[in-house]
Amino acid sequence: MKEQITRARFYFNLAEEGASQLNKASRWPVWSSLLIYRNILDAIEDNDYDNLTKRAYVRRAKKLLMLPLAYSRSLSTRS
């Protein structure tokens, strides 16, 4: 599981580059997803990689708090 999380983080980092190149209207949902799914990976790690008997999730309040960050990143057009 550790290897898969490392692999997922690698691809999330690559996706950041692509997300910044998307149509402006599409960036915010993509950035929101990237941030939320990264936090799910953190939750899997916090559960000692036990994803069969423990649920890895991000609480709704934390998701809502991530939205402004996702929005600010969506405004960036990094190359």
* The pLDDT of residue 79 is above 70: no
pTM: 0.84
| pLDDT value of position 31 | 95
- What digits encode the pLDDT tens for the residues 34-52? 999 999 999 999 999 998 9
Q: What is the overall mean pLDDT for the chain?
A: 92
Which whole number is the average pLDDT over 2-17? 93
Q: What residues contact residue 38 under an 8 Å CB cut-off, 6+ apart?
A: 9, 12
